[in-house]
Structure 1
Amino acid sequence: MTQQVAAAPASSPEGAGAPRRRRRRGGRRGHLHPAVALLWLAPALSLIVGVVLFPAYKLFEASRGEFSITGLRRGDAGWRNYEQVLSHPMFTTVLWNTVVWVVAVVAITIVISLALAQLLVKDFPGRRIARWALIVPWAASVIITSQLFVLLYDYNFGMLNHLLKSLGLIDTSIDFLGSDAWIMPSMVAVGVFVSLPFTTFVFIAGLAAIPDDILEAATVDGASAWQRYRTVILPLLRPALMIAIVLNSIYVFNNFPIIYTLNDRNPGFGNDTLITFMYKLAFQSQERDVGMSAATGVINVLLILVVVLIYLRIVNWREETR
């Protein structure tokens, strides 16, 4: 009799259905209502629309417009602005300058930063001071840094020419900012100087994440220092290396202050990149064509997107985010 009474609640419909109702309520608890989810995403979506999508739309709209010399829109130009930019007599030179500028700065920065990172992860007296000193070019304004190098490169009073003469390396001053043979290397040197801090600290973080037992195992197996670096350290630094390459490429590609500050004394577009070419088309050329400048801006955006897509293809982002 007691066993029958105890078994009754377990076999009743109400007792059997209660756990199922609890499971259904628990399942619904894991999902947000679409309106609630949209409310949480509203600030981020507003920021994306206001800072990214709307300016991109206005840039594309301006690239298909015809403007007066004062910047007033006079009508629709269709694709004529793009045709004028692509057929501009200096566009090929500017595009080549952009490629040389980005590739040279990024490549030299990566090589030097790898060496600096290897040094700064070692334990030696004054390491903290050395790391702090490395941050200074990153913390300073790019405009101020560029103007400082203008003074260092000066033909008549620059410290660099004075130092080279004192060492007996040159007899006459070098026109670092006025000679076509020297202006690009001079700008690349400033670009590398400004890019070193970020890239070096990215590699320091990557090196710190490598387990010591892996390096010890390679040493026990008889690997030399170069073999450990080539077969162990570099493959494990691949994520940090890819981040440094892509972010530096985007940053250097869009760098306006260095090119404009060091190259402002030279007429024409012979030493410009796309970013300064775009600015001069709107404000300093004879045409002062806002539409052509906007079309150049759209081309800049498309080139950056190509770099990002190449990066995503290399790192196989779809497989990593599954």
Structure 2
Amino acid sequence: MIFPGLLLALFIIGYPVLDLANTSLQEVSRFGQLRGFTGFDNFAEVFADPLFWESLYRTAIWTVTVVGGTLIISLPIAIILNDDFYGRGVARVIIMLPWAISLTMTAVVWRWALNGRAGLLNATLMDMGVLAEPIEWLAEAQLAFTVEIMVGILVSIPFTTTIFLGGLSSLPQDSYEASMVDGATRWDQFRHITLPMMKPFINIAIVLNVIYVFNSLPIIWVMTEGGPANGTDILVTYLYKLAFRFGQLGKASAISLIMFGVLLIFTIIYVALVMRGENDSDAGKDE
């Protein structure tokens, strides 16, 4: 019964990948017309481009910091929202509301708020006496990229918190009751009960967030379009520029295929490591 759905999923995923692979090996006009087989010339041009390696390095920083920051912040939030307190339902709604808003619209709002001349952030900080003069948050590459990472963490929290809340609600309560009888503190419960039992959900959150963040275009594109001077470009914005601004569809297809390969390799390696760790843990328990 699963086979028809699996076959359809393989077709939906497989056909675009095969078509992308074919395009990456062709000379392509800016209108998408295939002009002839060129072999791996597009890949050679991509690997010879310094902007590709800079974007790849920046993509690694972007993915690791956004995913890591999201996990560190989301787990405590989920633990707090999992407790029974007055107004918990309202608090959950407030946390989840940003998830219902378009990521592009969120990025537009942040771009307005971070405007160097009339932005809300500068106005607020100056009214509070924190700043003496406005700051051009998005005019310098390093500062702009740092701000975009913070926005990326903020918009990723609702989804990750939802995953963790689902995991926390499924944990058996008898373990906590037994630990309280033995005099365990909340920190002891977190270290020895919550964290180990939440590992499957943490692993799910890591894989899904890495895939989501690695391919995320709207925040960086809307806020800076990869600028200034390509200083905030990640692979997906670099690819977008090549394809739709410069019409280099062959190179863009090659980068898309490289990104697909990177994510596939990461997922396979991570899942293999997680499964091996679980098997080693089960073997240790049996001994």
What TM-score does the superposition give when structure 1 sets the normalisation length?
0.82
Structure showing greater radius of gyration is: 1
1:301 partnered with 2:263: no
Structure 1 residue 194, shift from structure 2 partner: 1.4
Tell me the residue number matched to 2:87.
126
Q: Is the 8 A contact 2:226 2:232 kept in 1?
A: no
Tell me the residue number matched to 1:30.
none
2:8 aligned residue (46, 53, 56): 46
Match runs of 1:263-282 below 5 Å: 263-264=224-225, 266=227, 268-282=229-243
Q: Structure 2 stretches of 5 or more lacking a match?
A: 280-287
Name which of structure 1's ranges 128-137 and 66-75 shifts more when overlaid on structure 2.
Answer: 66-75
- What is the number of residues matched between the two proteins? 279
Matched residue of 2:135: which SS?
Answer: coil
Tell me the residue number matched to 1:284.
245
Structure 1 residue 126, shift from structure 2 partner: 1.2
Matched residue of 1:66: which SS?
Answer: strand
Q: Is the 8 A contact 2:27 2:37 kept in 1?
A: yes
1:64 partnered with 2:64: no
Distance in 1 between the 2:165 and 2:9 partners?
Answer: 32
2:202 aligned residue (241, 246, 260): 241
Structure 1 residue 224, shift from structure 2 partner: 2.2
1:158 aligned residue (108, 116, 119): 119
What amino acid maps onto 1:298 in structure 2? L
Please list every run of at least 4 consecutive aligned residues from structure 1 whose deviation after the TM superposition is greater than 4 angstroms: 317-320
Q: Is the 8 A contact 1:203 1:241 kept in 2?
A: yes
Name which of structure 1's ranges 113-122 and 220-229 shifts more when overlaid on structure 2.
Answer: 220-229
Distance in 2 between the 1:176 and 1:275 partners?
Answer: 22
Structure 1 residue 317, shift from structure 2 partner: 7.8
Distance in 1 between the 2:210 and 2:181 partners?
Answer: 39
Q: Identity over aligned residues, as a percent?
A: 36
Tell me the residue number matched to 2:172.
211
Distance in 1 between the 2:73 and 2:7 partners?
Answer: 39
Structure 1 residue 116, shift from structure 2 partner: 0.6
Q: Is the 8 A contact 1:60 1:294 kept in 2?
A: yes
Structure 1 residue 71, shift from structure 2 partner: 2.9
1:109 partnered with 2:70: yes
**Residues 225, 263 of structure 1: CA spacing in aligned structure 2 closer, same or farther, 3 A cutoff?**
same
Distance in 2 between the 1:209 and 1:75 partners?
Answer: 56
Structure 1 residue 313, shift from structure 2 partner: 0.8
1:225 partnered with 2:186: yes
Matched residue of 1:316: which SS?
Answer: helix
Structure 1 residue 311, shift from structure 2 partner: 2.4
What TM-score does the superposition give when structure 2 sets the normalisation length?
0.92
Structure 1 residue 138, shift from structure 2 partner: 0.7
Q: Is the 8 A contact 2:107 2:222 kept in 1?
A: yes
Distance in 2 between the 1:180 and 1:80 partners?
Answer: 31
Q: Deviations over 1:2-42 (max 9, x none)?
A: xxxxxxxxxxxxxxxxxxxxxxxxxxxxxxxxxxx7xx734
CA root-mean-square deviation: 1.9
1:187 partnered with 2:187: no
Tell me the residue number matched to 2:271.
312
Matched residue of 1:75: which SS?
Answer: strand
Q: Is the 8 A contact 2:104 2:219 kept in 1?
A: yes
What amino acid maps onto 2:223 in structure 1? L
Does 1 or 2 have the higher relative contact order (CA < 8 Å, sep 6+)? 2
Structure 1 residue 99, shift from structure 2 partner: 0.7
Structure 1 residue 171, shift from structure 2 partner: 1.5
Structure 1 residue 300, shift from structure 2 partner: 0.4
Distance in 1 between the 2:245 and 2:135 partners?
Answer: 28
Distance in 1 between the 2:260 and 2:16 partners?
Answer: 12
Q: Is the 8 A contact 1:90 1:270 kept in 2?
A: no
Name which of structure 1's ranges 169-178 and 249-258 shifts more when overlaid on structure 2.
Answer: 169-178
**Residues 59, 318 of structure 1: CA spacing in aligned structure 2 closer, same or farther, 3 A cutoff?**
farther
